[in-house]
A and B are shown apart, each in its own frame.
Chain A
Amino acid sequence: MINVIDYVDGATFLHRLNPVSKLALATGIIVATFLAQSFPALIGLLALTLALGAYAGVLGRLASLLRVLAPLALLMLVLQSVFVQGGAPLFAFFTTEGVASGARASLRLLGVALPLVLALMVTRPNDLANACVEVLHVPYHYAFAFTTVLRFVPVFSQEMDAIMEAQTARGVAFDTKNPLKKMRLMLPLCIPLLLSSVAKTDASALAAEQRGFYLRGRDSAYKRYPMRGADMAACVAAAALVCAGALL
């Protein structure tokens, strides 16, 4: 079972950066994407994300995420075009300003979603949590909650798949083509999923406490996460991206 946000092993420059600088870079790209207004800037930022992904060897995973996001981006484009009216009419209810605004919105959607996912793909969740605790002084409880959520996403999605399979084998028509009907059939399955997730969370909390969770301090992590020259450079690059985004 492959999960989009799973860590992909590697030894590239991106992999070796301090997790905090990776977060800074991703944040830089995201903020710049929000600020940028021009199409070249938006497309450039998206291209930068994809280029970094290609360099780190996770382009395939990013592409599969793009395929999932594409329909959403398209929907965004259409809705925005309908709601924002202005400029010269194109056809039907589409206007030049509406389409431009819609295109920006959908580019932003992609530009915001991908950098964070990329950062997670090249960082082990534990490293991310430990580095945030050490460098950013984030309380460990929050960092642990975050890594636990990341860890549970695939566990729950597997559980949901197994529940769907069991129900399909019973004769529930999940193979229906009608998405609304499928949604209605899925609703009662939330109960078993909810029950199993409550039990899992409880077991998880107990296991963590039995392994000294409450003793953990900021210096507990065995590995150290120093900010090196390259990390400083990455942070500067992130700041530069934000400035560029604001100007372009």
Chain B
Amino acid sequence: MDPIITLDHVSFFYQHAKEPALRDVTLAIEPGAFVGVIGPSGAGKSTLAAALSGAIPHHHRGALYGAVHVAGHDTCEITLTDIARTVGSVGQDIDAQMVASVVEDELLFGLENFGVSREQIEARVDEALATTGIRELRARQIATLSGGQKQKVAIAAILALRPRVLVLDEPTSALDPGSARLVFDTLRAINRDHGVTIVVVEQMVALLSEYCSRVVVMDDGSIALDGAPREVFAHARALRRIGVDCPRVTRVYNSLVERGLARESRPCLNVDEAVRLVESIVSAGSEQRAVPVAAPHGPACKPMAGGTACSRPDPAGAAGGSAPATLRIEGASFAYPQGGSSVRDLDLEVRAGEIVGVVGQNGAGKTTLTKLVNGLLKPNGGRVLVAGLDTRSTPVSHIARHAATLFQNPDRQICQETVRDEIAFGLELHGTPAEQARVRAEEAARRFGLDPDRAPFALSRGQRQLVALASVVALDPKLVILDEPTSGLDYRECMTVMRAVREMARRGSAVLMVCHDMEVVSDFADRLVVMAGGRIIGAGTTREVFSNAPLMDAASIAPPQVCALAGELAARVSPRFAPITEVSDIVATCKELIHHD
């Protein structure tokens, strides 16, 4: 079959840009494919999506070289509206692309514009709602929907137009893992049952490896790797150089192959495949000896290739009270007057030097919890003590001297004209003399490789997050509150941010972290608090929580791949796997089981 979209040696320079955003890209999208696009930020993923959907050359200004053909037509020669008849596109900012206040009207807009006959409209609306699984939302006001529901409405509105290709730019970046999977389930149904070709820009490698038939890795405006997920994720070293994560189970496979423990064959893409692989190599390796069931012991503690050291052994042991609690929440409750995610009976302590993760679905009350801690909300009942100060009787600006918050969206934080002023601004707010603040600001900027004279708004999204982080680090706060610190960041930026956070904890800050990315939580948190329905329904060390299947189910959280793998292996191969949360420990335990039994 002829490709439905082709890019032939395409380069694109945004207006005033010296460097191209796309460099000589040649790509053919086959009808019926499910293509995932991944790459570090600034690699040209969104630009590629814009070129596929006709926004380049028709909306974004700049210079386009080469040719893009959509269903046989050069996109420079037909209008954006005509391209849109073939390629439907869903942008990053869902709120901005909605045109109506009610779901039904949102779907009608495109159908009306393209002149779909009145007899067909009802059937099309109903079919699009049914395919995306949101029939019951038809009469709802869009403003009252959750992020995941809005995303599905946006997809349904495009789907109703029956495009042959659907291009989506990071559709899950604002969603919790459960909602993200549901969106991908929807995309899979559209792809499989309706034959719509899907091109999706996405950062979560676990989703790409599971749902896509083809993965395109972008690096610096070019296509670095292109192939089936199994082929692409086998290039662990190249991916690491580019700054793209591998699914953790693929890392297990890659490490086993590197150490000669497994023969090079098919890289694992999901937990089941990894379980089968480990089962086969362990049973083959210990065929001569019967495997004695060893008592479980702690995992070997080695820094892994990515630089992630293993979590400290059981910091919850400090509960005896060696370190003072920097944050103490005693039976705190809060309900919004107009309704919203209220929280009840929260009890929590975070000690100096500790990273405590808060996990749960959207709407579980995690953000409400963080606002109770930084004083933006005052508890209706119970107490919140930050560095000994009761938030109810202390002004927020005073609490801010002890508790610094890093928000999900750095653009709400940044308001100064240079990086130096931005970082110094926070210091000056807390009474540091201007001269000293500037010196400390420059130090902090340099630490993160930021030019103090640059304008923050001219930086990339990831670098703006680093500016916001540098302002937090410069304050040297007793308590750090992180609200989705890694969303919208690529793998490398994510690691930079999280290592800086861990460094702050080492220097004695207490860290409270709300995070959707279970891999990040598993790598960096010492303890976890699980929230659902406005309550804390469980707490414990990261390992305890992730291996507690009933608790994970109650909170609708999928444990990270390594924990799921460890759980399966503990049940089927050896109980030694049970406490493991790291790739390196899985590999080390395999090695022990094969060689030292």
Closest to B457 in A: A195
Asked if B88 contacts A210 (CB within 8 A), the reply is: yes
Interface residues in A178-232 by Cβ distance below 8 A to B read 188-189, 191-192, 195-196, 199-201, 203-216, 220-223
Which chain A residues lie closer than 8 Å to B88 at the CB level? 210
A166 B405 Cβ-Cβ under 8 A: yes
CB <8 Å contact, A206 and B59: yes
* Residue among B92, B105, B404 making CB contact with A124, cutoff 8 Å: B105
CA gap between A227 and B157 in the complex, in Å: 29
Name B466-513 residues within 8 Å CB distance of A: 471, 481
Inter-chain contacts of B113 with A (CB < 8 A)? 211-213, 215-216, 220
The yes or no answer to A246 lying at the interface (CB within 8 A) is no
A170–B405 touching, CB < 8 Å: yes
Q: A7-B101, A170-B413 are in contact. Are A210 and B53 (CB under 8 A)?
A: yes
User: Nearest residue in B to A140 (C-beta to C-beta)?
Assistant: B113
Q: Which B residues are CB-close (under 8 A) to A222?
A: 108, 111-112, 118, 121
Q: Which residues of A contact B404 (CB under 8 A)?
A: 169-170
CA–CA, A159 to B112, complex, Å? 31
Contact status B105-A166, CB under 8 Å? no
Q: Which one of B54, B79, B108, B157 has the greatest number of beta carbons of chain A within 10 Å?
A: B108
Any A CB within 8 A of the CB of B358: no
B289 interfacial by beta-carbon distance below 8 Å: no
Interface size on A, residues (CB 8 A): 56
Is A92's CB within 8 Å of the partner chain B?
Answer: no
* Cβ–Cβ contact A171 & B429, under 8 A: yes
Question: Contact: A215 with B395, CB < 8 Å?
Answer: no
Interface residues of B in 419-458 (CB under 8 A from A): 425-426, 429-430, 457
Is B211 an interface residue when CB atoms closer than 8 A count as contact?
A: no
Q: In the bound complex, do residue A220 and residue B415 qualify as a contact, i.e. CB atoms below 8 Å apart?
A: no
In the complex the two chains form, is B157's CB within 8 Å of A171's CB? Answer: no
Is residue A57 contacting chain B, with contact meaning CB distance below 8 A?
no
Query: A158 — nearest CB in chain B belongs to which residue?
Result: B95
A6 at interface by CB-CB < 8 Å? yes
User: CB-defined interface of B57-100 with A at 8 Å, one 1/0 digit per residue?
Assistant: 01100000000000000000001110010001101110111111
Tally of contact residues, B, Cβ under 8 A = 66
Closest to B161 in A: A211
| Chain A residues closer than 8 Å to B415, beta-carbon distance | 167, 188-189, 191-192
**A148 interfacial by beta-carbon distance below 8 Å:** yes
Q: Across the interface, do B97 and A203 meet the contact criterion of CB distance under 8 Å?
A: yes
Known: A170-B413, A207-B91. Is A147-B397 also a contact (CB below 8 A)? no
Query: CB within 8 A of B397: which of A125, A171, A205?
Result: A171
In the complex, B400 has a CB within 8 A of chain A: yes
A126, A175, A201, A215: the one contacting B396 at CB < 8 Å is A175
A126 B105 Cβ-Cβ under 8 A: yes
Answer whether residue B141 sits at the interface, using C-beta atoms and an 8 A cutoff: yes
Contact B93 A211 (CB under 8 A): no
Instruction: Return chain A residues, CB-CB under 8 Å to B55.
Output: 206, 210
Answer yes or no: B231 CB below 8 A from chain A CBs.
Answer: no
The verdict on A173 contacting chain B, using a C-beta distance below 8 Å, is: yes
- Cα distance, A151 to B114, chains bound together (Å): 23
Which residue of B81, B426, B471 contacts A209 across the interface (Cβ within 8 Å)?
A: B81
B537 within 8 A of A: no
Query: Beyond A125-B101, A212-B114, is A200–B405 a contact (Cβ under 8 Å)?
Result: no
Contact yes or no, B109 A211, CB < 8 A? yes
CB distance from B64 to the nearest CB of A (A): 16
Residue of A nearest to B99 (CB): A208
Residues of A with C-beta under 8 A to B79: 214
Whether A206 lies near B102 (C-beta < 8 A) is no
CB of A2 within 8 Å of the partner chain? yes
Q: Chain B residue with minimal CB distance to A126?
A: B105
How close is A116's CB to chain B, nearest CB, in angstroms? Answer: 17
B96 touches A204 (CB 8 A): yes
B416 in contact with A188 (CB, 8 Å) = yes
Partner of A6, one of B143, B374, B411: B143
Residues of B within 8 Å of A151, CB to CB, are 98-101
> Which B residues from 38 to 57 make CB contacts under 8 A with A?
53-55
Q: Mark A66-83, 1 if CB is under 8 A from B, else 0.
A: 000000000000000000
Asked if B213 is at the interface of the complex by the 8 Å CB criterion, the answer is no
Q: What residues of chain A lie closer than 8 Å to B109, measured between beta carbons? A: 211
A155 within 8 A of B: yes
Residue of B nearest to A212 (CB): B113
Is the pair B411, A196 in contact by a Cβ cutoff of 8 Å? yes
Q: Check A84 for interface membership: any CB of B closer than 8 A.
A: no
A126→B81 contact, CB < 8 A: no
**Contacts A162-B409, A167-B415, A169-B396 given; 4 further ones with Cβ under 8 A?**
A6-B141, A206-B55, A207-B96, A211-B109
User: Which residues of A are in contact with B by a Cβ distance under 8 Å?
Assistant: 1-3, 6-7, 124-126, 144, 147-148, 150-151, 154-155, 159, 162-163, 165-175, 188-189, 191-192, 195-196, 199-201, 203-216, 220-223
Please report B residues at the A interface, Cβ cutoff 8 Å. Answer: 53-55, 58-59, 79-81, 84, 88-89, 91-93, 95-102, 105, 108-115, 118, 121, 141, 143, 157-158, 161, 338, 371, 374-376, 395-397, 400-401, 403-405, 407, 409, 411-416, 425-426, 429-430, 457, 471, 481
Chain A to chain B contacts (Cβ below 8 Å), 21 pairs: A3-B143, A7-B102, A147-B100, A167-B413, A168-B376, A170-B404, A170-B413, A170-B426, A171-B396, A171-B430, A175-B396, A188-B416, A200-B93, A204-B97, A209-B84, A210-B80, A211-B113, A211-B157, A216-B112, A221-B108, A221-B112
